[in-house]
Structure 1
Amino acid sequence: MNEPLDYAEQPGAVELKVHRHRGGTVETIADSIGQEWPIALVFNGISHAVMMCTPRDLEAFAVGFAISEGIVERGSDIHDIEVTTHPDGAPIPYAQVDLTVVQQAFVALKEKRRALSGRTGCGVCGIESIDLLDLAPERVPDTGFFARLAPDAIARAARALPEHQALTKLTGGLHAAAWCAADGTIRRTFEDVGRHNALDKLIGQLILDRADPTDGFVFLSSRASYELVRKAARVGIPMVATISAPSTLAITIARQAGIRLLSFCREAGYVDYGTL
């Protein structure tokens, strides 16, 4: 019989006994597994989305999701947040985050839900009509960040990131979103099974800390998808750097928003996808 997962362990990872096959031998070892829970996001009493997420930093995640998905325009539009976890939930553990938002944002959210009602297909972010895609990014303000960007900032961030990935080091299976200064120093890092969730957690914490999102850049341990660049544009982040490749739409949106997009970032170099 398979051993049940112990959800009472530290949020983010659980330990499970597994059989490792190597070199013709089999041994029983303890393996750390990244947690993945359904997280229900509820706005003014109405459930809006259920996201699969690592169950930590959920307040920051909910704030970042609300901002980066355009549900609210600013942190002050959120009046209250309550996180409830159910580690013994059936059939699996789950959590719920209740947010109270300003009436204007709630009315707009209800109108959006009405426009999406009755869908039967599975499309981008749950929509099935191209007309409903929000691909027109906000223009990121020019605050002079690039003039202050150190020549070795990417190399410095790439070298330091592994030391800020405690859960990834433990499980080998999580993404990270790091907030970096102009010299490449990593200020904050959030990890999650989903790269979008990790970025939402980072954005949410920036909002909660009332930090200036134009005074730094994001370094992601993933590819650059259009959603990640779109989320960065919503809050005015001037630069997105990723370890893996970008998509064509990510490049297009970055150029439209005025975001500097760097990919294949390593200590030895990177590729700049800005306008030539």
Structure 2
Amino acid sequence: MGGPGGAGEAALAEECALALSYNGLAHAVMMVTPEDLEDFVVGFSLSSGLVASADDLYDIRLGGAGEARQAEIEIASRAFWALKQQRRQLAGTSGCGLCGVEALDQALPPLPVQPAVPLPPAAHLADLRPRIAEAQRLARHSGAVHAALYVDGTGALRLCREDIGRHNALDKLVGALARQRLAARDGFAVVTSRCSLELIHKALRAGLGTLVSLSAPTALSVDWARRHGLNLIHLPHHSAPRVYSPAPAREDRHP
């Protein structure tokens, strides 16, 4: 063991615990890859519905080192009030048998239907897989990480964010888009991971118009994408892109 090419010399993905507190109130501890943490904090706050826009985030202070990190976030008073109300409601119902109802509301939240945007040109998808592989710096070095990327309206791959968690990778991308003031709906996002319902929620809250996945989506993800105006495309390894949302038009049948 540990010889040339052995496991003892293999590079491994980094991981740390990141504790997030909003206006001094502890909210969550997330296991993340310790890169682009400010992007993650912004994206997590937006895609989780904790703030309505990046303008509600007043300050982010990162601290700690190694495996234990902290993020102290100052948010607008209206956003903090809503956060406290949500936490108080969950705590108040946990002893009366209604906590399951609240959990369902969080798992299947009401989200607005967004205006449709055109599907991306086929040329922007043609060589996407090798371009993604080239952009994934951490994956080339250590593997075991997911990526979320942004392709702009010209087809240029503008952003790549990586993390051990697929949700975290998309949060980092959402945060980077917000911090760099890029128009999310002018291009599209790509995720290298399985496309679950939670990723659809995050994409909708972030205002993305199109989400491309390298793995097939779940049936519920497709249903939610169609109902809420999100373009959803699967990019298989060896076949043409599959557009799941909007729903394919049915051909008229004549006798």
Which bin holds the TM-score, normalised by the shorter protein?
0.7 to 0.9
Residue number among 230, 234, 237 corresponding to 1:259 in the alignment:
230
Q: SS state of the match for residue 269, structure 1?
A: coil
Match of 2:89 in 1: 115
Q: Secondary structure at the match of 2:110?
A: coil
Which 5+ residue runs of structure 1 have no aligned equivalent? 1-17, 88-92, 121-125
* Equivalent in the alignment of 2:10: 31
Q: What is the CA-CA distance between 1:272 and the residue it aligns to?
A: 1.3
Counterpart mapping for 1:224-263 below 5 A: 224-263=195-234
Spell out the pairing of 1:125-136 with structure 2 (5 A cutoff).
129-136=103-110
SS in 2 for 1:33: coil
Decide which of 8, 21, 32 is 1:53's aligned counterpart. Answer: 32
Secondary structure at the aligned position of 2:10 is classed as: strand
Which of 86, 91, 95 in structure 1 is aligned with 2:65? 86
User: 2: CA distance between counterparts of 1:40 and 1:127?
Assistant: 27
Deviation at 1:159, TM superposition (A): 2.4
Instruction: Specify the alignment match of 1:194 in structure 2.
Output: 165
CA–CA distance in structure 1, aligned partners of residues 6 and 130 of structure 2: 34
Instruction: Give the TM-score, by structure 2 length.
Output: 0.87
2:113 pairs with 1:139: yes
Q: Which residue of 1 aligns with 2:23?
A: 44
Selected match of 2:80 from 90, 95, 106: 106
Match of 1:90 in 2: none
Tell me the SS of whatever aligns to 1:273: strand
What are the residue-to-residue correspondences of 1:147-162 with 2, within 5 Å?
149-162=120-133
- 175, 178, 181: which one aligns with 1:204: 175
* From 118, 122, 136, the counterpart of 1:165: 136
- The letter of the residue matching 2:230 is I
Q: Please state how far the C-alpha of 1:30 moved relative to its aligned partner.
A: 1.2
Q: Give the distance between the partners of 1:267 and 1:82, measured in 2 at CA.
A: 45
More helix, by proportion: 2
Kindly indicate whether the alpha-carbon contact (under 8 Å) linking 1:158 and 1:267 is maintained by their aligned counterparts in 2. no
Check the 8 A contact 1:154/1:265 in 2, yes or no: no
Counterpart amino acid of 1:193?
I
Matched residues, percent identical?
35
Task: Give how far 1:128 is off.
Answer: 7.0
TM-score normalised by the chain length of structure 1: 0.81
Match of 2:252 in 1: none
Deviation (angstroms), 1:37: 1.1
Go from structure 1 to structure 2 and tell me whether the alpha carbon gap of 1:140 and 1:19 turns closer, same or farther (over 3 Å shift). Answer: farther
Change (3 A) 1:127 1:213: farther
- CA distance in 2 between partners of 1:95 and 1:226 (Å): 28
CA deviation map 1:143-184 (0-9, x unaligned)? x543xx322212232220000101101112100000012343
Structure 1 residue matching 2:127: 3-state secondary structure: helix
Change in CA separation of 1:27 and 1:107 when aligned onto 2, cut-off 3 Å? closer
Question: Per-residue deviation at 1:247?
Answer: 1.0
Alignment counterpart, residue 74 of structure 1, candidates 29, 38, 53: 53
User: 2:224 & 2:50 partners in 1: Cα distance?
Assistant: 20
How far, CA to CA, are the matches of 1:127 and 1:161 in structure 2? Answer: 40
Question: When you count strand as a share of all residues, which structure comes out higher?
Answer: 1
* Structure 2: runs of 5 or more not aligned: 249-255
Residues 33-79 of structure 1: CA distance to partner in whole angstroms, max 9, x if unpaired? 11111111110001111111101111110000000011000011011
Once the two structures are superposed, what CA deviation does each residue of 1:206-240 show, in whole Å capped at 9, x if it has no partner? 11111111111011111111111111111221111
Amino acid at match of 2:206: V
Q: Go from structure 1 to structure 2 and tell me whether the alpha carbon gap of 1:236 and 1:28 turns closer, same or farther (over 3 Å shift).
A: closer
Distance 1:196 1:132, change over 3 A: closer
